[in-house]
Amino acid sequence: MFRDRAGRLQDGYSRQCPSCEVVLFFAEDSQHPFIKRAMRNARKVRMEMREAEAVRLAAPEPLAARSKSFGGRTRSAERED
């Protein structure tokens, strides 16, 4: 067993095992139970990541997240030089 990013682990992905150097092919229709589980877990993680990203984008930016140098200034429509 080894770890890999869920974004990479999609149908058709292949990776060499770091310990035994056997090339593993990841496919949705694989009969191997460990590969099935890895594909299912990766799909679940990707779905959770998409949902978290959607929530993050939908939420308004908190005021505390702005930098200290911002100082509450707003950008004016015209610049006076």
Residue type for 49, please?
M
Q: How far apart are CA 35 and CA 69, in angstroms?
A: 50
Residue that wins the pLDDT comparison between 26 and 67: 26
Helix (H, G, I), strand (E, B) or coil at 62: coil
Residue 6 makes CB contacts below 8 A (sequence gap 6+) with: 41, 42, 45, 46, 49
Give the pLDDT confidence of 19-52 residue by residue, as tens digits: 888 888 888 888 888 888 888 888 898 999 999 9
**Cα(34)–Cα(25) distance, rounded to whole angstroms?**
12
Amino acid present at 8: R
CA angle 26, 29, 31 (to 5 degrees): 85
